Amino acid sequence: MSRRSRTTIIILVVAFLANVLLTAGIIYDDNERYNKAVTEWKLEKSTMEENYSGTIDKVIKDKNALEEDYKNIGTERNDLLMEREDLFKKIKELEDKIEELKASKKETASSSSSESVKKGEESKNGKQIGLVLSFYGSGDDENGAGNGNATASGADLSHGVIASNNFPFNTEISIDGYGTYTVLDTGNPQYLREVSDNKYKIDVYVPKNSNESVAEYKQRISNYGIVETTGYVLN
């Protein structure tokens, strides 16, 4: 083989090796870029998964919190309903008590702890009349300013005194459920009058108890209210 031929072969081999090395470098460079891209994708994927997981956890936490709030609201609502039922029961009890007090008003008017309107045995001998009873005390607003303890007849106010504008002084009237009283006082003719045929309004004096205040005394008289009953004129 001539020298020129050997040179040509060497040049071709060198060119071939150079091409191989260049191709290997390109492949290596592509592999580096590929590996870098894969690494970046994996990192981004991991970040997205973490964010997604955090979002899911937050949603679940918020959902649990809302369910707990709903449960608490339900409990509070039940408590309020129970309180409302208790209030309705108490209102009903108070209404029943009021009715009992109204029903016992007549009994209250005929009882007292000491000197007061008292029950007694009434005589049925005499002219029968209808009566509308009201009650008064010894205060200036009821007995007249300046009258003190005196009645219109001059007698002192005491248990057993009644006021009437239709019967003369010293008329004795037996009142069903109360006993016998004497007319010794008069009153406002607008109130103490004959309200219908053989039916009269009269005022029954109520003595003050020694242990009660003026306010308590007035309240006790007020509690007696208005009573309709039957009476008998004895003289």
Model pLDDT for residues 138-173, shown as the tens digit of each residue:
877 776 655 667 888 989 999 999 999 999 999 999
Q: Tell me the percentage of the chain whose pLDDT exceeds 90.
A: 33
Q: Where are the beta strands (DSSP E) in 62-107?
A: none
pLDDT at 116: 41
Task: Kindly provide the b/e burial profile for residues 91-114, where b requires at least 16 CB atoms within 10 angstroms of the residue's own CB.
Answer: eeeeeeeeeeeeeeebeebbebee
Domain chopping of the chain, boundaries = 1-103, 114-233
Collapsed DSSP state (helix, strand, coil) of residue 83: helix
How high does pLDDT run on average in the chain? 80
| Closest to 116 measured CA to CA, from 215, 228, 220, 225 | 220
CA Rg value for the chain: 55
232 vs 36, higher pLDDT: 232
Please provide the CATH number assigned to the domain covering 114-233.
2.40.40
- What's the pLDDT score for residue 26? 58
Q: Categorize the per-residue pLDDT at 129 as very low, low, confident or very high, splitting at 50, 70 and 90.
A: very high
Residue owning tokens 């108890």: 209
Q: Is the pTM of this model over 0.85?
A: no
Task: Please tell me the predicted confidence (pLDDT) of residue 67.
Answer: 83
Please check the confidence at residue 87 and state whether its pLDDT lies above 90: no
For residue range 3-25, what is the model confidence (pLDDT) as tens digits? Answer: 667 777 777 777 777 676 666 56
Q: Pick the residue with more confidence: 106 or 229?
A: 229
| Residues 202, 136 contacting (CB under 8 angstroms) | no
List all residues 6 or more positions away from 133 whose beta carbon is below 8 Å from its beta carbon. Answer: 109, 175, 178, 202, 203, 204, 226, 227, 228, 229
- Indicate if the pLDDT at residue 123 is higher than 50: no
Span 168-226, pLDDT tens digits: 999 999 999 999 999 999 988 888 999 999 999 999 999 999 899 999 999 999 999 99
Q: Residue 80 has what pLDDT?
A: 87
Residue 109 clears pLDDT 60, i.e. is over it: no
